[in-house]
Homo-oligomer: A and B are copies of this chain.
């Protein structure tokens, strides 16, 4: 089985040498190789080997041999509850785009001010897949799930403090949503959400 998407290497937990070794193995032969969870330090090292490598700072993703091309007209909408969730959302955006998807953003529409979300109802209902990125109590996933008839991918973030327990509260909240049609990924896993959205979107 050939994967229907570019190769990806997760940098977190690997030494600079290990990362470089893996990218070397993959980097020469393919387009849009992604290095996720890459610090700027990792990027500096990689840039020496691949001077055209591009770094998406907020998303913490390096793309080697970037090729921007939309292969699919259906939209993935990436939504955040707050400003602090944007870094995770951007991991999803950059990944989904690198996989050839059309992506739209709707940021900072958390449920504490419901009007901002309701004002964008059309945008919500035009998307083919929705990725909801939220920390704290993660209520946004339930509310969005109730407003659309399309698959919702919920990404809990580690945004919050105290009993947030590093994103656990948002995760539990999303798993127990009173709206159905929601699939959940690991805390802060923007990459995984994008990958699942891509699989859904590329369904013929």
Q: Which residues of A contact B (CB under 8 A)?
A: 1, 3-4, 8, 12-14, 18, 22, 74, 81-84, 86, 110-114, 125, 128-129, 135-139, 142-143, 145-151, 153, 156, 158-189, 191-192, 195-196, 198-201, 203
Most buried by B among A8, A159, A162: A162
**Cα of A181 to Cα of B179 in the assembled complex, Å:** 21
With A137-B173, A139-B139, A173-B169 given, is the CB distance from A82 to B178 under 8 Å?
yes
Number of copies: 8
From A194, which residue of chain B is reached at the shortest CB distance?
Answer: B180
With A150-B199, A161-B188, A162-B188 given, is the CB distance from A142 to B174 under 8 Å?
no
| Minimal beta-carbon separation of A26 from chain B (angstroms) | 13
Q: Check if A175 sits within 8 Å of B186, measured CB to CB.
A: yes
**Cα of A4 to Cα of B150 in the assembled complex, Å:** 9
From A198, which residue of chain B is reached at the shortest CB distance?
Answer: B181
**Cα of A192 to Cα of B81 in the assembled complex, Å:** 19
Query: What are 16 inter-chain pairs, A to B, with CB distance below 8 A?
Result: A1-B147, A14-B84, A18-B86, A112-B146, A137-B142, A137-B173, A151-B200, A158-B162, A162-B175, A162-B188, A163-B168, A163-B175, A169-B173, A180-B191, A180-B196, A183-B184
